[in-house]
């Protein structure tokens, strides 16, 4: 669970950086807005199990899915200028989701601290 949350937080931070770059280049001629490829729920991340005996469970490796930058055709108007409002909406959505992931991470960490103390 921690690994999945960290992955979402890292993706959100990277996307905020890309959106900020798009906004910074709003007046740059011929600049095409970019975006990160969304994380897909179809790509499963396997968490390795900790075992006391090698015969209990087969070890699994995590799948590392790189983030691919894609041209954001929706965010660039036909005249080549970036749609600022659309970029700001994407920024707000990503920030809200990242905040939720950070709070979830904090709650899970708090839960594990309680369990490990008891």
User: Which structural domain range is residue 63 located in?
Assistant: 2-112
Q: What is the pLDDT of residue 93?
A: 92
User: Is 82 among the domain residues?
Assistant: yes
User: Is 66 among the domain residues?
Assistant: yes
Contact present, 88 and 76 (Cβ < 8 Å) = no
User: Is 77 among the domain residues?
Assistant: yes
User: Is 20 among the domain residues?
Assistant: yes
Q: What is the mean pLDDT of residues 73-83?
A: 68
Q: What is the mean pLDDT of residues 78-84?
A: 72
User: Is 62 among the domain residues?
Assistant: yes
User: Is 118 among the domain residues?
Assistant: no
Quickly state the pLDDT bin for 64 (edges 50, 70, 90).
very low
Quickly state the pLDDT bin for 92 (edges 50, 70, 90).
very high
Query: Does an H or E element contain 46, and which?
Result: none
In angstroms and rounded to an integer, the radius of gyration of the C-alpha atoms of the chain is 19
pTM: 0.64
The domain tally of the chain equals 1
More confident residue, 41 or 13: 13
Confidence check: pLDDT of 53 > 50: yes
User: Is 117 among the domain residues?
Assistant: no
Confidence check: pLDDT of 65 > 50: no
User: Is 40 among the domain residues?
Assistant: yes
Q: What is the mean pLDDT of residues 34-60?
A: 59
Strand partners, 34: 71
């Amino acid at each position: 669970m921690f690994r999945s949350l960290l992955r979402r937080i890292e993706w959100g931070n990277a996307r905020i950086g890309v959106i900020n770059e798009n906004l910074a280049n709003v007046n740059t001629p011929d600049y095409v807005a970019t975006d990160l490829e969304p994380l897909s729920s179809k790509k499963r991340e396997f968490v390795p199990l900790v075992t006391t005996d090698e015969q209990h469970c087969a070890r699994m490796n995590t799948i590392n899915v790189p983030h691919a930058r894609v041209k954001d055709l929706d965010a660039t108007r036909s005249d080549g200028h970036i749609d600022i409002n659309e970029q700001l909406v994407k920024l707000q959505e990503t920030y809200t989701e990242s905040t939720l992931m950070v709070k979830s991470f904090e709650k899970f960490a708090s839960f594990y601290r309680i369990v490990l103390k008891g």
